[in-house]
Amino acid sequence: MGLVLYDTLQRAKVDFVPATPGHVGIYACGPTVYADPHLGHARGPVVYDVLRRYFLHRGYKVRFISNITDVGHLTDDADGGEDKIERRAKLERLEPMEVAEKYTWSYFDAMAALNVLRPSIAPRASGHIPEQIELAERLLKLGFAYERKGSVYFRVRAFPEYGKLSGKRLEELRAGARVEVREEKEDPLDFALWKAAEPGHLMRWRSPWGEGYPGWHIECTAMSLKYLGEGFDIHAGGIDLQFPHHECEIAQAEAAGYRFARHWLHHNHVLLEGEKMAKSTGRLVLLHDLLRAHEPMALRFYLLQTHYRSPMDFTFTGLEAAKRGYARLLQAYREVREKRRTAAPGTTPELERALDALERDFLAAIEDDLGTPEALAALFAFLPELHKLLPEAKGDTLERTAQVFHTLGEGLLGLFPERVLEEKVSGPLLEGLIALLLELREEARRAKDYAKGDLIRERLKALGVVVEDTKEGPRWRLEAS
Ligand SMILES: Nc1ncnc2c1ncn2[C@@H]1O[C@H](COP(=O)(O)OP(=O)(O)OP(=O)(O)O)[C@@H](O)[C@H]1O
Ligand SMILES: [Zn+2]
């Protein structure tokens, strides 16, 4: 069986067939970098990372593009309000590009902690102004756009297929559209490809229409076509982007005469108390706070426990349960790795059969529209069998078991990076252990067992921990090496 994906454009699950055999091109809309990322921002990247890992597992060459929006995204998500980056720059008294840089790295760091593979390219909108101008010029020449006072708008009426992705009808949209004061547009549905910069607007570039900045939608059309070419395989993003962002992307590309994305994937939202987690509303849990307090892989596991097309309500209770689930899997994997060192060579047929079933069920789940909850369920279903057979299991089968854990758990789900497999003793634990030894030493001295007290001090010294007795009690420091 091959991969089946739910394509928003076709409103059905479809067989995935790449445009070029052996290659896959994916474009996933990235964040607007004006604040630290929240948990919602991790969902798309983690899900599409599994998609990418699946293709890698199947031997495809994957080009994965995820943009950084550092210009053009206005506060009302349409053509009004302030630029989100610029508003933040004024608040923080920074250059707009300082804001973008700061939060781009905040985002990248969080993604690295979550074991998300780095995009092949993470193009910035501000680095692709000429490409966006060129596309706007082409649309003007073809009659799909018009200029008004230095701004360029897309003429939605000229593109009858507008609405085909989101299933919205033009007439309904028009009836509900807000007509702005000083409206420059021919039609309230028209959207900006380029905006004239008002006096005082910081982010501005020269264009054939005067100084200005690009609209939000045009960056993704320009950059996806530049790096993935016409008719690329998959375009992905959150469901909030279906309309207007992705609808506009399609209109811009196809009106300009380019074949655009062949498949559209949309992930549902992470919610907080029933509503979308979002920067603009402040209803959020920051990723960095979660990553500091919890094992990042447990957080990744938590995100993968819900199917990407279902909403996911974040709760701390849910996260705690996910931590326990993840710990069970990790512990089983560690035990297998430990046991295989000492096991006698040979195979254990019963365990081999359980592994066959696991691999089959796991891959079937992933291939059915990225069924990560079912894939995790297949791993859990394997555990009782594993625990039963582990004590007597033979080396060759254990070697395969470790390999299967690695391939499915890390290769495909990205849940077991080397870091979590090493049982290293780190800072807080070490300090706790030294404190415990010093307490035992004090106890020995109080019981006048000076020999034991000295022994503890000598042994610590041999390890490079110097203990000094002061009036306030014993203190320790590391010997300078
Ligand atoms: N709560 C969420 N759950 C899942 N995905 C989300 C969530 N919020 C944003 N995203 C996705 O993250 C990406 C970046 O979105 P963006 O930077 O516009 O974030 P945002 O928090 O929605 O911002 P704002 O609240 O200002 O609209 C998009 O693909 C968007 O769909
Ligand atoms: Zn986009």
Task: Answer for the pair 202, 86: CB distance below 8 angstroms, yes or no.
Answer: yes
210 C-alpha to center of ligand 2: Å?
25
Cα three-residue angle 244-250-252, rounded to 5 degrees: 95
ipTM for this model = 0.96
69 C-alpha to center of ligand 2: Å?
8
Least confident among 172-186, 245-259, 315-329: 172-186
Phi, psi of 478 (to 5 degrees): -85, 135
244 C-alpha to center of ligand 1: Å?
14
Domains with residue ranges and CATH for the chain:
4-267 (3.40.50.620), 313-421 (1.20.120), 428-478 (no CATH)
Least confident among 226-240, 418-432, 441-455: 418-432
User: Could you report the per-residue pLDDT of 205-249, keeping only the tens digit for each?
Assistant: 999 999 999 999 999 999 999 999 999 999 999 999 999 999 999
Residue minimizing CA distance to atom 2 of ligand 1: 40
DSSP-derived secondary structure letter, 422: S
203 C-alpha to center of ligand 2: Å?
19
Residue minimizing CA distance to atom 22 of ligand 1: 278
**43 in contact with ligand 1, CB cutoff 6 A:** yes
| Ligand closest in space to the Cα of 252 | 2
| Ligand closest in space to the Cα of 309 | 1
Query: What one-character-per-residue DSSP string does 47-59 give?
Result: HHHHHHHHHHHTT
Report the binding-site residues.
Answer: 29, 220, 245, 249, 279
Q: Which residue has the tokens 């959207």?
A: 191
Q: Is 199 exposed, middle or buried (0-12, 13-18, 19+ CB in 10 A)?
A: exposed
Section 84-108 average pLDDT? 92
Question: What Å distances lie between residue 60 and 23, 52, 69, CA to CA?
Answer: 5, 9, 28
**41 in contact with ligand 1, CB cutoff 6 A:** yes
In single-letter form, the type of residue at position 132 comes to: Q
Predicted confidence at residue 108, as pLDDT, reads 98
Alpha carbons within 13 A on the beta-carbon side of 251:
32
DSSP SS3 for 24:
strand
DSSP SS3 for 253:
helix
Which among 279, 312, 314 is the best mutation to test ligand 1's pocket, defined by most ligand atoms within 8 Å of the CB? Answer: 279
| Ligand closest in space to the Cα of 47 | 1
**Residues above pLDDT 90, as percent of the chain:** 84
Question: What Å distances lie between residue 394 and 144, 321, 340, 390, 403, CA to CA?
Answer: 69, 33, 8, 8, 14
Task: Answer for the pair 249, 260: CB distance below 8 angstroms, yes or no.
Answer: yes
CB atoms within 10 A of CB 117: 16
**241 in contact with ligand 1, CB cutoff 6 A:** yes
Predicted confidence at residue 180, as pLDDT, reads 66
Report the binding-site residues for ATP.
Answer: 279
Query: What one-character-per-residue DSSP string does 177-232 give?
Result: PPPPTT---SSTT-EEEEEEPPTT-SS-B--TTSSEEE-HHHHHHHHHHHHH-TT-
Phi, psi of 144 (to 5 degrees): -95, 0
Taking 90 as the threshold, does the pLDDT of residue 162 lie above it?
A: yes
- Cα–Cα distance for residue pair 272/312, rounded to 1 Å: 9
DSSP SS3 for 326:
helix
**155 in contact with ligand 1, CB cutoff 6 A:** no
Taking 80 as the threshold, does the pLDDT of residue 260 lie above it?
A: yes
Predicted confidence at residue 75, as pLDDT, reads 75
User: 268, 233, 219: which is closest to 33 by C-alpha?
Assistant: 219
Section 439-462 average pLDDT? 94
**238 in contact with ligand 1, CB cutoff 6 A:** yes
249 C-alpha to center of ligand 2: Å?
8
Predicted confidence at residue 281, as pLDDT, reads 87
**263 in contact with ligand 1, CB cutoff 6 A:** no
Predicted confidence at residue 132, as pLDDT, reads 98
Question: What Å distances lie between residue 126 and 177, 204, 240, CA to CA?
Answer: 29, 10, 23
pLDDT band at 365 (very low <50, low <70, confident <90, very high): very high
Which among 240, 241, 266, 285 is the best mutation to test ligand 1's pocket, defined by most ligand atoms within 8 Å of the CB? Answer: 240
User: 358, 458, 362, 449: which is closest to 401 by C-alpha?
Assistant: 358
| Ligand closest in space to the Cα of 216 | 2
Predicted confidence at residue 182, as pLDDT, reads 58
**29 in contact with ligand 1, CB cutoff 6 A:** yes
User: 193, 81, 65, 77: which is closest to 135 by C-alpha?
Assistant: 193
Taking 70 as the threshold, does the pLDDT of residue 140 lie above it?
A: yes
Taking 60 as the threshold, does the pLDDT of residue 96 lie above it?
A: yes
**128 in contact with ligand 1, CB cutoff 6 A:** no
- Cα–Cα distance for residue pair 256/248, rounded to 1 Å: 12
User: Could you report the per-residue pLDDT of 13-71, keeping only the tens digit for each?
Assistant: 999 999 999 999 999 999 999 999 999 999 999 999 999 999 999 999 999 999 999 98
Section 274-295 average pLDDT? 94
Handedness of CA 405, 411, 416, 417 (dihedral sign): positive
Give the tokens for residue 478.
Answer: 């590391």
**237 in contact with ligand 1, CB cutoff 6 A:** yes
Section 100-117 average pLDDT? 97
Taking 70 as the threshold, does the pLDDT of residue 77 lie above it?
A: no
| Ligand closest in space to the Cα of 224 | 2
pTM score, whole prediction: 0.89
Length of the chain, please?
481
- Cα–Cα distance for residue pair 276/313, rounded to 1 Å: 9
**Residues above pLDDT 70, as percent of the chain:** 98
Q: Which residues of 7-39 are buried (b: 16+ CB within 10 A; e: fewer)?
A: bbbeeeebebebeeeeebbbbbbbbbbbbbbbb
Residue minimizing CA distance to atom 8 of ligand 1: 40
Predicted confidence at residue 480, as pLDDT, reads 76
Give the tokens for residue 36.
Answer: 């630290």
In single-letter form, the type of residue at position 296 comes to: P
**279 in contact with ligand 1, CB cutoff 6 A:** yes
**278 in contact with ligand 1, CB cutoff 6 A:** yes
**185 in contact with ligand 1, CB cutoff 6 A:** no
265 C-alpha to center of ligand 2: Å?
12
Predicted confidence at residue 181, as pLDDT, reads 57
Atom number, ligand 1, closest to the C-alpha of residue 34: 17
Predicted confidence at residue 345, as pLDDT, reads 96
Average pLDDT, the chain: 94
Task: Answer for the pair 187, 272: CB distance below 8 angstroms, yes or no.
Answer: no
